[in-house]
Amino acid sequence: MTRLPLSLLFLGLFACESGTPAEKRPDVLSPDTASEAAATCAKGWLLPPVEGADGPSCKPLADDYAPAANDTWPPCISDDGQYHPFDQNISSIARVAAFETIAGLLFTGEPPSPKAFEDARVAYSQDQGLESRVSRREDEHYPKADKACADMTAAELASNADRCVGPAQIQPLLTQAFSDGQLGKDPLLNAARIEAGLLWFLYLSSYKEATTCATTKKDCDSSYAYYTGGGG
């Protein structure tokens, strides 16, 4: 069994939510309530029909910015097609590197040893590393809660498990999988759970940092790092 399908299986088992999209996101228009969306660009989750096999219905304007394009925009630092960080010291790169270390120990397709789980947990638990961010990651796809997830009680986290996905869902999944793996229990199963949990975190982190990048420049750097590993 290859690594990716196994991880996706467990991502589906642990990350999928119950209920319809309308129940989970009442602020997003549903196909039944967004009849005008069929004739316009994407609104809510309802996309218009695609014209032809390859052409999207929504196209960029002729004067939209594109790197190095002959457009109406003045020269820009990104015209060379490269991302130029606001800060050369991007801490998120080290977290992606820790993920790669864990991958080399656990996501090989072979049953990892208890020692491999122990070493992977050390990489996960580094100061200001993956664990520190998993424990506070919020899912920006969901409405903001009344207070920060970090300030919630266990009962409040359970009531806001979708928004407070890091402490409420991902962290417990990873903690249990690391513990069971170190005890030699179901090594392939727990390795897949760890991979699924970390991929879940990395996806949410790229999205979260890209969202808050609009007001916090360093978050643009973090989104870039989570998405590319800092390699381009």
Does 22 map to a domain?
Answer: no
Assign residue 14 a region (left: φ > 0; alpha: ψ between -120 and 50; beta: otherwise): alpha
- Res 153 pLDDT > 60: yes
Does 35 map to a domain?
Answer: no
Does 113 map to a domain?
Answer: yes
The pLDDT of residue 33: 46
Total domains in the chain come to 1
CB 149 within 8 A of CB 167: yes
Give the model confidence (pLDDT) of 172-210 as tens digits. 999 999 999 999 999 999 999 999 999 999 999 999 999
Does 36 map to a domain?
Answer: no
The pTM of the whole model exceeds 0.75: no
SS3 per residue for 28-77: CCCCCCCHHHHHCCCECCECCCCCCCCCCCCCCCCCCCCCCCCCCCCCCH
Number of Cβ atoms within 10 Å of the Cβ of 113: 15
Does 130 map to a domain?
Answer: yes
Does 28 map to a domain?
Answer: no
Per-residue pLDDT, averaged over 134-142, amounts to: 92
The pLDDT of residue 43: 45
CA distance 25 to 142: 7
CB 57 within 8 A of CB 192: no
Does 2 map to a domain?
Answer: no
Give the model confidence (pLDDT) of 79-120 as tens digits. 888 888 988 888 899 999 999 999 999 999 999 999 999 999
Does 75 map to a domain?
Answer: no
Average pLDDT value for the chain: 80
Print the domain residue range for 129.
93-202
The pLDDT of residue 52: 52
